[in-house]
Amino acid sequence: MELIRAVYQATSPERNPETLAENIAREQSLELTRALIPEAIAERLLGRVLDVTPLAENRWALEIGYPVELASGQAGQLLHLLYGNVSFYPRIRLTGLKLPESLLARFPGPIGGLPDIRCWTGVPDRALLMTVLKPRGSAPSVLADLALAFARGGGDLIKDDQNLVEDELPAFRQRVGACAAAVEKAAEETGRRCLYLPHVAGSGSHLERQLDFVRDSGLGGVVLCTWVMGLETAAAAARERELMWLSHPAMAGAFTEPEATGIASAVLLGTLLRVAGADISIFPGRGGRIRSGHADDETATCRALAGPLGSLKATLPCTGGGKTLEQAVATARAQGPDCAILVGGDLIARHDRIQADVAATVAALQAC
């Protein structure tokens, strides 16, 4: 039988690690004591312990195999299967995930991803530079001027800050329209296209009308706060309109940052987002304003997003969290060309030097 293979790290387990592994396998698959599960159902659907290995003093790796049917071919259900109830168990962290080919084949993955973003921006082979429009409360013209200066300087990607949220549609249209026009104007001047991604939030018809406006404006994609909206909700909202989506990691630190609980960044902000179809995944990189609390490897997340995975397109990894323009070049050297670097506040602080400093940084990235 084809299995989804998940590795959990158990720290200071309250019981025998083998017993704990059996408990997790049951909890996450059929949630019933063994004696109450009919044999035919157990054979088909019960999770099974594949391996139990000591990692360090009081720490174990528990590998569990889940029958592929349990994911129901849905990204949300896959997330749920891997960590739903076990999130309440003490000191269990999901650290590894391997999906069988048959399941990967059921997920479309990114509709555009790294290849289409390279095509859109006309940048075949270097690391990409991204900025963010903020703060909330700014007049649309102020945000549009920032977008214009960045795009004129040859910047590649612009995202709305995830705090830019409007209660009413006209305000959303006015702001997004102004920024889109600025990016369009720069493209006419430079002959290069910068990809502008507006932030879209909310639910129901308010959400749908914002998404429709973005699509009808000819923009290539949106920013979605995946862990607020829901993984599969975000994917479906973008895919139904053939929009690319950048996944913002807000709330995800609750999973990635604790040492003994949660889900490793490479799984949550890497494999799961790619499977669900995110075209860009932002995560806080090392050395920015937001420092990661533990040793999750930035490189592992990049690899999960852009390395081989079935026939899925690569998701563009983007490291952010308070990087400076100077750090952009160093980060590109460390991560290689298949990544984007997000620079926000440091760019805004440069005022009338934005265009020139962006141009210099892009040239340096090109030279990497």
Contacting its own copies within 187-246 (CB under 8 A): 201-204, 225, 228-236, 239-240
C-alpha distances (whole Å) from 23 to each of 165, 179, 345 are 43, 52, 47
Q: How far is the CB of 11 from its own copies (least distance, A)?
A: 11
Q: Which is nearer to its own copies, 133 or 365 (CB)?
A: 133
Q: How far is the CB of 205 from its own copies (least distance, A)?
A: 9
Q: Which is nearer to its own copies, 253 or 337 (CB)?
A: 253
Assign residue 242 a region (left: φ > 0; alpha: ψ between -120 and 50; beta: otherwise).
left
Extended strands (E) in the chain: 3-11, 48-56, 59-67, 92-98, 128-133, 157-160, 195-197, 221-225, 244-248, 262-263, 280-284, 316-323, 340-343
Q: How far is the CB of 28 from its own copies (least distance, A)?
A: 8
Q: How far is the CB of 25 from its own copies (least distance, A)?
A: 13
Q: Segment near its own copies (CB under 8 A), from 5-13, 58-66, 158-166, 358-366?
A: 158-166
Query: Which of 55, 105, 119, 251 is the binder for its own copies (CB under 8 A)?
Result: 251
Binding to its own copies by CB under 8 A, coded x per residue (else -) over 58-97, reads ------------x-xxx-xx-xx--xxxxxxxxx------
The pair of three-digit structure tokens given for residue 204, joined into one six-digit string: 């129901």
Query: Which of 220, 270, 317, 321 is the binder for its own copies (CB under 8 A)?
Result: 321
Longest dimension (CA), the chain: 72
The pair of three-digit structure tokens given for residue 266, joined into one six-digit string: 């490479």
CA-wise closest residue to 171 among 136, 218, 222: 136
Q: Which of residues 22-41 bind its own copies (CB under 8 A)?
A: 27, 29-33, 35-38, 40-41
The pair of three-digit structure tokens given for residue 187, joined into one six-digit string: 């493209």
Q: Does 344 bind its own copies (CB under 8 A)?
A: yes
The answer to whether 114 touches 315, Cβ cutoff 8 Å, is: yes
Residue 348 CB contacts under 8 Å (≥ 6 apart), including other chains: 134, 146, 354
Query: Which of 100, 108, 177, 253 is the binder for its own copies (CB under 8 A)?
Result: 253
Q: Is 52 helix (H, G, I), strand (E, B) or coil?
A: strand
The pairing of beta strand 3-11 with beta strand 92-98 = antiparallel
Q: Which is nearer to its own copies, 54 or 293 (CB)?
A: 293
C-alpha distances (whole Å) from 134 to each of 19, 97, 137, 138, 221 are 51, 36, 8, 7, 18
Q: Which is nearer to its own copies, 109 or 321 (CB)?
A: 321
Q: Which is nearer to its own copies, 111 or 228 (CB)?
A: 228
Query: Which of 145, 169, 257, 330 is the binder for its own copies (CB under 8 A)?
Result: 257
The answer to whether 169 touches 206, Cβ cutoff 8 Å, is: yes
Backbone angles phi, psi at 7, to 5 degrees: -110, 125
The count of residues interacting with its own copies (CB under 8 A) is: 82
Q: Which of residues 277-296 bind its own copies (CB under 8 A)?
A: 284, 290-293
Q: Segment near its own copies (CB under 8 A), from 119-127, 250-258, 308-316, 355-363?
A: 250-258
Q: How far is the CB of 187 from its own copies (least distance, A)?
A: 27
Residue 361 CB contacts under 8 Å (≥ 6 apart), including other chains: 129, 325, 328, 329, 343
Q: Which is nearer to its own copies, 113 or 262 (CB)?
A: 262
Query: Which of 44, 98, 333, 353 is the binder for its own copies (CB under 8 A)?
Result: 44
Of the CA atoms within 13 Å of residue 342, those in its CB half-sphere come to 27
Q: How far is the CB of 161 from its own copies (least distance, A)?
A: 6
Q: How far is the CB of 249 from its own copies (least distance, A)?
A: 7
Q: How far is the CB of 271 from its own copies (least distance, A)?
A: 16
Q: Which of residues 126-155 bind its own copies (CB under 8 A)?
A: 134-138
Q: Which is nearer to its own copies, 87 or 174 (CB)?
A: 87
Instruction: Identify the sign of the CA torsion 261, 262, 266, 267.
Output: positive
